[in-house]
Structure 1
Amino acid sequence: QDILLRMINGENPNAFKSVLSNGLTVIGRQMPSLSSVAMGIWIGAGSRYETAKINGISHFLEHLLFKGTKKRSGEQLKQAIEGVGGSFNGFTSEEATCYLVKVVNKHTSLGLDVLSDMVKNPLLKEADIEKERRVIIQEIKMYEDLPSHYVHELFGELLWPDHPLGRNIAGTLQSVSSIKRKALLDYWEEYYQTGNSVFSISGNFKKETILSQIEGYFGKIKKGKRKKFLPAKRKINHPQIKLNFKETEQAHLCLGGIGLSRNHPDRYTLELLSTILGGNMSSRLFREVREKRSLAYAIRAESHQQHDTGAFVVSAGVAPERTKEALRVILKELKKIKEKNVSPGELKRAKDFLLGQLTLSLEDSSSYMLWLGSQQITEGRTETFKEVKDCINRVEEQDLKRIASLIFQNSNLKLALIGPLKNKEELFSFLKL
């Protein structure tokens, strides 16, 4: 049964949602002015579905599905797509794994063939598992050597201690070293089935033709039910610091706390707060921290959402001897925005920025495919552009102040820091609004 989705201008005949005979949900949008087709198969499997013992197994399996099937070697998989000028990738997040292909539309059936082959017929050979294990271990070590990245991992540990959300998506050296082939096969059997999957597609195609093709390639995937993950725990109601001493040229910091979930009615209010504080080069933190005081080259504020929780974070790299000054300026801006209304002009600019960025991204078939699939796999529905626009435009100055007061509290403050600093107690004295 086809269900028209309301897209950019309300009801859009180019958008559709359908369920195959085996229960696989297909969601898509025709973009007839393009020459490309972007498609992705989404699995409800990510790091928050994992126990500590198998932490990293979703990501490990994603790597292995590129290593070959009963029909094609890993090299043949890559050559099939790249040989026609297409792109081929995969990624794992906390709540989903996605395999995606983008091709010129005359090669759509090839893209469907390759994607379906990967998820239906992986070999998971012992030799490939051992090779990829070594690759992933190097990946983990690489990111540990990148403090601007690794500090976000430490920040997650503060927000969600002893919980899957607080663990590395790639796993730990210990967990990745101990995952066996049977565990990978069992995980694939349990999670890679229709009730736990979504297929998203956008670009230049005919709807009836594409649905028939998807049925042909994906119709034999085994049936199953949606998997559940461990709910997020209640937040810890006191400020915390995680300090990782390292002889780096900069001190890399993440300062923030628990934010709002993907389903929270005020999530776009927090997005606007993030934009005003540190979402672009005209933001308050960019101006105060970089332009006025030259404390950092890179500084930004972001809001991240999961199904039932979220995070607000300000990240920056600063000169170690000026860390306290940078923290003082950041905290001052957080306090200011919760005590004093944002001007109507500043709020309008933030709204226009968010909507403009979204509009530009949705001109691309890959971005539209990701927009559709990521929402459908995590929430079971897709927000329309009009719904997002209406939510953003409804936000008023007092809403920003209300949500800032909710999020920017001393009890919710968490600071993760990597650099040549040792005095944790001194940093605690600064951690207040």
Structure 2
Amino acid sequence: HRPVAAAAAPARPLSTELESGAWVPATEVTTLDTGLRVVSETIPAATVALGVWIDTGSRYETPSNSGVAHFLEHLAFKGTKKRSKAGLEEEVENQGAHINAYTSRESTVYWIKTTADKTEWALDVLSDLLLNSRLESDAIERERGVILREMEHVNKNMEEYTMDELHDVAFEGQGLGLTILGPIANIKGIQRRDIHTYIKTHYTPDRIIVVGAGAVEHDELENLAAKYFAPWAVEDAPPAFNTLESAPDAGGETSADFRPAFFTPGERRQNLDKQDLCHVAFAFEGAGWRSPYALPLQLMQNMMGSQFDRLAPVDHSAPFFQEVGLRGLMHSCNATNIAYKDTGIFGMYLKTDPNELTRDAAPEPVLPALMEALIRHFTRFAYDVSEEELYRAKVTLPPTPTPTLG
């Protein structure tokens, strides 16, 4: 049996008021005996958003099962022991609720938004999806085609494609380098037993957080989570370690063991047909969201400028955007700051036409001029940041840190 966590005890609220006087809702955290955590923020509202965050994603996969987390997320909505696919869709629609899910490199999330009086119903639905999915063979076969079409759409989006390539280079041979959808061969070959093994290994209470925000009281959420997620116990699953500490020997590694990522500098160039523009992802090793450097990197991202588009010119205050706009160095770009548990990617995604020339007095090819300007503006953060620029970055920083292009 898996050791149970400490007895349930609420954590102290994180904050209620900023120095500026702005009100911030208190965050309450409770750990149940099973290890499942319950987190809530009570906000005056008529609605409630509820979600289940699972500490697993493509990072915890291997080349042989890459894509299984995303495949499983799709299957959760295809029918349970209590609800058929059509019955679930009709029930959610009749309740006026919204339900969805997504998979990222480090998380799988199922969420629902509804009115405050339907909180228990919503948790019943979420727990049913996660505990009682049928995973029928027919549904698995049908979903292969759906995911393959999704892959076609993703690969046509050059921004997503380029960022996947960046991860593959930056974390070569590691889980963070794998794509979320997985390769075509895996999508075509994943079987029910592969999905079941993944559930047993990763969908365990110690890796799960039930979250509520809006018109919800923490005690109510805690009691409902204990009621509806009580059966969540997988006795014969191998231990799943999701902390940064070294995991004890569990008699052999599983894909659930946390492996620190290592940034691998490199370069990759691809000549793709039917592409008029050059798509570039340029990045340094960033910082994990637990790192003391996480906030400074967000400020640097803000100072580089969050987004530039030649077709939608605005009065950019960021020196980099001012220069590239004046010299005509590129079509568009996004400053990128992706934070994971223990590492990150900090840089820029941009598009330019390598056949164009700069608008300088002595015109030169755009691409080398752009890369020179990009490196120069990144390195200047070490010695040339004014108090005014830093203040502007602080006051315009989004209230909730949100990694870009994750």
State the TM bucket, normalised to the shorter chain: 0.7 to 0.9
Residues 226 and 12 from structure 1, CA distance in 2 versus in 1: closer, same or farther, beyond 3 angstroms?
Answer: farther
Deviations 1:315-344 (A, max 9, x none): 111123133332232222223333x32110
Equivalent in the alignment of 1:94:
105
Equivalent in the alignment of 1:161:
172
In structure 1, C-alpha distance between the alignment counterparts of 2:210 and 2:100, rounded to whole Å:
15
- Ranked by relative contact order (alpha carbons within 8 Å, sequence separation 6 or more), the top structure is 1
Equivalent in the alignment of 1:358:
399
The answer on whether the counterparts of 1:81 and 1:103 sit within 8 Å (CA) in structure 2 is no
Q: Could you tell me the percent identity over the aligned residues?
A: 27
Letter in 1 for 2:272: F
Deviations 1:288-312 (A, max 9, x none): 22x3133334212121111121111
Equivalent in the alignment of 2:39:
27
Letter in 2 for 1:4: R
Equivalent in the alignment of 1:309:
343
The answer on whether the counterparts of 2:12 and 2:28 sit within 8 Å (CA) in structure 1 is yes
1:287 is aligned, of 322, 344, 347, to: 322
Instruction: Report SS of the residue matched to 1:95.
Output: coil
Structure 2: tracts of 5 or more residues without a match: 1-8, 242-255, 308-315, 356-365
Instruction: Report SS of the residue matched to 2:399.
Output: helix
Letter in 2 for 1:169: I
Residues 30 and 246 from structure 1, CA distance in 2 versus in 1: closer, same or farther, beyond 3 angstroms?
Answer: same
The answer on whether the counterparts of 1:35 and 1:105 sit within 8 Å (CA) in structure 2 is yes
Map 1:387-406; keep pairs closer than 5 Å.
none
Letter in 2 for 1:30: T
Residues 69 and 261 from structure 1, CA distance in 2 versus in 1: closer, same or farther, beyond 3 angstroms?
Answer: same
Equivalent in the alignment of 1:331:
375
Letter in 1 for 2:337: S
TM-score normalised to the size of structure 2? 0.82
In structure 1, C-alpha distance between the alignment counterparts of 2:344 and 2:226, rounded to whole Å:
36
Instruction: Report SS of the residue matched to 2:269.
Output: strand
The answer on whether the counterparts of 1:254 and 1:313 sit within 8 Å (CA) in structure 2 is yes
In structure 2, C-alpha distance between the alignment counterparts of 1:284 and 1:256, rounded to whole Å:
19
The answer on whether the counterparts of 1:81 and 1:111 sit within 8 Å (CA) in structure 2 is no
In structure 2, C-alpha distance between the alignment counterparts of 1:244 and 1:140, rounded to whole Å:
20
Report the alpha carbon displacement of residue 223 of structure 1 after superposing the two structures with TM. 5.3
Deviations 1:372-415 (A, max 9, x none): xx9xxxxxxxxxxxxxxxxxxxxxxxxxxxxxxxxxxxxxxxxx
Is 1:73 the equivalent of 2:84? yes
Residues 88 and 115 from structure 1, CA distance in 2 versus in 1: closer, same or farther, beyond 3 angstroms?
Answer: same
Equivalent in the alignment of 2:278:
251
Deviations 1:154-191 (A, max 9, x none): 11111011111111111011121111111111111222
2:162 is aligned, of 151, 160, 176, to: 151
Residues 249 and 12 from structure 1, CA distance in 2 versus in 1: closer, same or farther, beyond 3 angstroms?
Answer: closer
Is 1:236 the equivalent of 2:248? no
Is 1:263 the equivalent of 2:279? no
Over the aligned positions, Cα root-mean-square deviation in angstroms equals 2.3
Is 1:300 the equivalent of 2:327? no
Equivalent in the alignment of 2:387:
344
In structure 1, C-alpha distance between the alignment counterparts of 2:25 and 2:47, rounded to whole Å:
19
The answer on whether the counterparts of 2:60 and 2:258 sit within 8 Å (CA) in structure 1 is yes
Residues 136 and 251 from structure 1, CA distance in 2 versus in 1: closer, same or farther, beyond 3 angstroms?
Answer: same
Equivalent in the alignment of 2:304:
277
Letter in 1 for 2:318: S
Residues 116 and 345 from structure 1, CA distance in 2 versus in 1: closer, same or farther, beyond 3 angstroms?
Answer: same
In structure 2, C-alpha distance between the alignment counterparts of 1:105 and 1:302, rounded to whole Å:
37
The answer on whether the counterparts of 1:158 and 1:242 sit within 8 Å (CA) in structure 2 is no
The answer on whether the counterparts of 2:50 and 2:113 sit within 8 Å (CA) in structure 1 is yes
In structure 1, C-alpha distance between the alignment counterparts of 2:45 and 2:142, rounded to whole Å:
39
TM-score normalised to the size of structure 1? 0.77
Instruction: Report SS of the residue matched to 1:141.
Output: helix
Report the alpha carbon displacement of residue 75 of structure 1 after superposing the two structures with TM. 2.4
Deviations 1:93-149 (A, max 9, x none): 111111001111122122111101000100001011011111111111221122122
The answer on whether the counterparts of 1:93 and 1:169 sit within 8 Å (CA) in structure 2 is yes
In structure 2, C-alpha distance between the alignment counterparts of 1:324 and 1:8, rounded to whole Å:
50
Structure 1: tracts of 5 or more residues without a match: 362-370, 375-433
Equivalent in the alignment of 2:13:
5
In structure 2, C-alpha distance between the alignment counterparts of 1:242 and 1:184, rounded to whole Å:
35
Runs of 4+ in 1 over 4 A off after TM superposition: 10-14
Question: More helix by proportion, 1 or 2?
Answer: 1
Equivalent in the alignment of 1:173:
184
The answer on whether the counterparts of 1:262 and 1:306 sit within 8 Å (CA) in structure 2 is yes
Residues 73 and 283 from structure 1, CA distance in 2 versus in 1: closer, same or farther, beyond 3 angstroms?
Answer: farther
Deviations 1:73-99 (A, max 9, x none): 122223322322221111111111110
In structure 2, C-alpha distance between the alignment counterparts of 1:154 and 1:296, rounded to whole Å:
21
Residues 181 and 151 from structure 1, CA distance in 2 versus in 1: closer, same or farther, beyond 3 angstroms?
Answer: same
